[in-house]
Every structure is written in structure tokens, then in C-alpha cells.
């Protein structure tokens, strides 16, 4: 398939997706600086400490985006086992005493000398999406099988999720599991098997919550924060105060008051609250609209993907962004319990930003070879939900003569 694609002249990438990502990236750098300069001055005597490091990772991420965008995405299918192996090694290394960097009771980072430390779990998300997409494409006929499809899938995802939980990082684990279940279902997995994961996940989630005192605190903060405003409920109540203080139009960029050590993690997980305080309801809705349009354009690229591998890659990356956005904003607005999940492209976190930008590069590569560029999709012997969603568009590009080749 890679050789077949190489004989085609690639079209232009989806510039709408690229423009939306660039808008979110620029807004993120501005907001990270605004939300972090007080903390940077206090801890490092440098108001630009955090934004400079975020910009460094942004440059690395944009470089990866350009490389991935200009590379035939089918190459990833051949290197996916090596990417998956490297991801697992990274998740193991971070747990080795003396190597992993511990912060706030969690060991999630690997030091890189003068560079900001890297977080292997963020790159593991992307590696897992690539590997599982390749595996599901190669095992289309077995994906509905319990022994040959469901069990290997659960074992692989369970291994990665288990290593991430050992850090511990329940938020990242949740994103990984939700994204992988989505991929499995879209690839044609049995609805019975997918449904079986729900009670299993609920039981495991309940056990993990009870096993960590801070997770119990977050659950109680969600249900009854007002009963302990200076303790368990402090975090979520300060987030809501920040959002409410912005009103309709906001206090103005840089004018947030809650970032002065009232909102924990104001430049990381809580950045949407600071953004809402400074840009108001209008700004918050605009940011949500940018994410919504990005997700829409991403799934539009899915329907135009010329094969299952490209479609599954795009589903994985866009689902990752969608779930992470929903969980972050849902937690900050107290729609769901608060978890330590950063907001894509906006929150401070270099590894997360670089991995996301590389993922967007893959989506743009898929869009360059899309059937909306005039390329004929290959024939399929097994129709999955991806196939059925794309079939009307494929037929629209079918040549009039039997056995003809696709139009350029």
C-alpha cells in the first residue's frame, strides 16, 4: 500500500486543521505566560521560565508536525512495532528509582539534562494509536473474534495502561483506554465485547479511586465541595470563582487575579479557568468552538481517508484530543469529577504539546492522500463501520468503466 501511495502525487493538506491548531498553539503560549509569570518569578526569579520552555517544545512539536505531514503515513505501519517497543521501554525506565523525576507524589518524567524533562506517557499515547491502528488494519477479519481479536487487544492496552497507572496517572490512563475502545469499535469490534469493557472499567475505576486518598478527595469535592471550602473543595471552588469572575467579556489578558496562587496548577490543568477569567464567557466559548471545529474537520478527514489505516490513525488522534478536551473542561466546570488532564495545545506541558503536534502531522498526512483529492479508494472484502461511513463518498469517485483505474 505504501508503494501504491508513493505513485500518487500527494495533494494539499487540510489547511483548516493546520490553521485551527496554530490558533490554539499561539493562544496557549499567551495564556501560559499570563498564568505562570507569577509562579515563575516566585520559584525561579524568571517571569518567562515556563513560557520559554513551552515555546521550546512547541518548536520541536512543529518540526515533528511538518515531518509527519510530508511523510507518507503508510510508513508508520511498518515502524509501528518499533514505536510501540520504544514507548513501553520509556514507561518502564521512568519507574526506575534514580531515573524518573518525582513531582507531587508522581513519577512521570525522564530528565534530559539542560532540556525540560520528557513525559513518556504522552508519547506512548501516540505510539499506541499508531500500533493499534496498524494491528486492527492487519487483523480486520479477526477483530470480532474473542480469542484472536478482543483478548490480544485488552492485553496490549492493559499493559500500557497498567504501566501508566504505576506512575500513577489515572487521567492519562483514562484517555488511553477511551481512545483505544473507540478505535476498536470503529474498526469493527463486536459491540458485545465493547460493552463488556464498561463494567470492567467501572469496577477497576472504583478500585483505583478507593486505593488513592487524593482521588477520593476529588470525588467528594465534586459532590460536596461547599462542605469543606478550605480543604477538599478548595481547588474546584477556586476554579469556579476564576470562571465566574470573568463575566461576559473577561478582565483582560494578563489581568487574572486567581492565578496569584489561588488556583493550583493555573498554567497546567487549570488553564481554562484562567482563560475564562481573562477572556470571559465569550473567550471561553470561542476556545470551545475552535476545538469543536478541529474535531469536525478531523472526522471529515476520516470519511475522506483512502484506506482503513489512514482512517483509524485519524480517528485515534482526533478521539484523543476530543476526550482530553471534554475531560479537562468538564472537570473545571464541575460537570464531572476533576482529574489531572491538561487541555490540548493550551496547558503547559512540553511532552504533551510535542506529541499532539506530531499526531496532527499524521492527520494532515492522511488528508493529503484523501479521496477528496481525487484518489480512488481500494476495494474491501470486509466492511467495517469505517468502510460503511465512507462508502457513499467512495462510490462518487468510482470510474464509469468497469475495472478502470482511479482518477488523478
User: Is 205 a domain residue?
Assistant: yes
User: Is 64 a domain residue?
Assistant: yes
What's the total number of domains in the chain? 1
Give the separation between CA 138 and CA 393, rounded to whole angstroms.
Answer: 23
Give the separation between CA 5 and CA 404, rounded to whole angstroms.
Answer: 17
DSSP per position, 264-296? TTTTTTTHHHHHHHHHHHHHHHHHHHHHHHHHH
Indicate the average pLDDT of the chain: 85
Quick one: pLDDT band at residue 169, thresholds 50, 70, 90?
confident
User: Is 65 a domain residue?
Assistant: yes
Name which of 227, 275, 264, 261 is nearest 340 in CA terms.
264
**pLDDT the model gives residue 404:** 43
Q: Residue 49 corresponds to which cell in the numbers above?
A: 521560565
User: Is 126 a domain residue?
Assistant: no
Residue 13 has pLDDT above 50, yes or no: yes
pLDDT average, residue stretch 240-255: 92
Q: Which range is most confident: 192-206, 289-303, 382-396?
A: 289-303
Name which of 92, 209, 248 is nearest 159 in CA terms.
92
Q: Are 286 and 309 in contact (CB under 8 A)?
A: no
User: Is 6 a domain residue?
Assistant: yes
Number of Cβ within 10 Å of residue 111's Cβ equals: 12
Q: CA quadruple 207, 211, 214, 220: dihedral positive or negative?
A: positive
Helices (H), 104-150: 120-138
Render pLDDT for 384-406 as a digit per residue (tens, 0 to 9).
Answer: 555 555 554 444 444 444 444 44
Residue 174 has pLDDT above 60, yes or no: yes
pTM: 0.86
User: Is 219 a domain residue?
Assistant: yes
- The range of the structural domain enclosing residue 11 comes to 2-81+182-377
User: Is 127 a domain residue?
Assistant: no
User: Is 98 a domain residue?
Assistant: no
Q: Which residues neighbour 109 within 8 Å (Cβ) at sequence distance 6 or greater? A: 94, 100, 101, 103, 117, 118, 119
Amino acid at each position: 500500500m505504501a508503494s501504491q501511495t508513493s505513485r500518487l502525487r500527494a495533494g494539499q493538506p487540510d489547511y483548516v486543521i493546520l490553521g485551527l491548531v496554530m490558533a490554539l498553539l499561539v493562544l496557549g503560549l499567551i495564556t501560559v505566560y499570563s498564568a505562570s509569570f507569577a509562579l515563575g518569578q516566585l520559584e525561579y526569579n524568571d517571569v518567562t521560565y515556563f513560557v520559554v520552555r513551552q515555546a521550546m517544545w512547541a518548536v520541536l512539536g512543529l518540526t515533528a508536525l511538518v515531518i509527519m505531514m510530508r511523510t507518507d503515513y503508510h510508513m508508520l505501519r511498518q515502524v509501528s512495532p518499533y514505536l510501540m517497543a520504544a514507548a513501553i521501554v520509556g514507561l518502564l525506565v521512568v519507574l526506575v528509582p534514580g531515573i524518573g523525576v518525582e513531582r507531587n507524589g508522581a513519577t512521570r518524567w525522564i530528565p534530559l539534562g539542560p532540556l525540560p524533562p520528557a513525559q513518556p506517557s504522552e508519547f506512548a499515547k501516540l505510539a499506541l494509536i499508531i500500533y493499534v491502528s496498524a494491528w486492527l488494519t492487519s487483523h480486520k477479519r479477526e477483530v470480532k473474534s474473542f480469542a484472536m481479536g478482543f483478548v490480544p487487544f485488552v492485553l496490549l492496552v492493559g499493559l500500557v495502561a497498567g504501566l501508566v497507572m504505576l506512575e500513577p496517572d489515572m487521567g492519562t490512563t483514562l484517555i488511553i483506554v477511551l481512545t483505544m475502545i473507540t478505535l476498536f469499535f470503529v474498526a469493527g469490534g463486536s459491540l458485545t465485547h465493547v460493552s463488556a469493557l464498561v463494567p470492567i472499567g467501572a469496577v477497576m475505576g472504583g478500585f483505583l479511586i478507593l486505593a488513592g486518598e487524593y482521588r477520593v478527595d476529588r470525588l467528594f469535592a465534586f459532590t460536596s465541595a461547599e462542605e469543606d471550602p478550605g480543604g477538599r473543595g478548595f481547588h474546584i471552588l477556586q476554579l469556579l470563582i476564576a470562571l465566574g469572575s470573568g463575566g461576559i467579556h473577561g478582565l483582560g489578558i494578563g489581568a487574572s487575579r486567581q492565578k496569584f496562587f489561588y488556583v493550583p496548577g493555573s498554567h497546567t490543568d487549570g488553564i481554562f479557568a484562567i482563560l475564562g477569567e481573562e477572556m470571559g464567557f465569550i473567550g471561553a466559548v470561542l476556545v470551545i468552538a475552535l476545538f469543536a471545529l478541529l474535531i469536525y474537520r478531523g472526522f471529515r478527514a476520516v470519511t475522506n481517508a483512502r484506506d482503513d489505516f489512514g482512517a483509524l490513525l485519524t480517528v485515534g488522534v482526533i478521539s484523543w484530543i476530543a476526550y482530553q478536551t471534554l475531560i479537562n473542561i468538564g472537570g473545571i466546570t464541575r460537570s464531572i469529577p476533576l482529574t489531572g488532564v491538561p487541555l490540548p495545545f493550551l496547558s503547559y506541558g512540553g511532552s504533551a504539546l510535542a506529541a499532539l503536534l506530531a499526531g496532527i502531522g499524521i492527520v494532515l498526512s492522511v488528508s493529503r492522500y484523501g479521496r477528496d483529492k481525487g484518489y480512488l479508494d481500494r476495494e474491501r472484502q470486509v466492511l467495517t463501520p469505517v468502510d460503511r461511513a465512507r462508502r457513499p463518498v467512495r462510490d462518487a469517485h468510482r470510474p464509469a468503466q468497469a475495472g478502470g483505474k482511479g482518477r488523478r
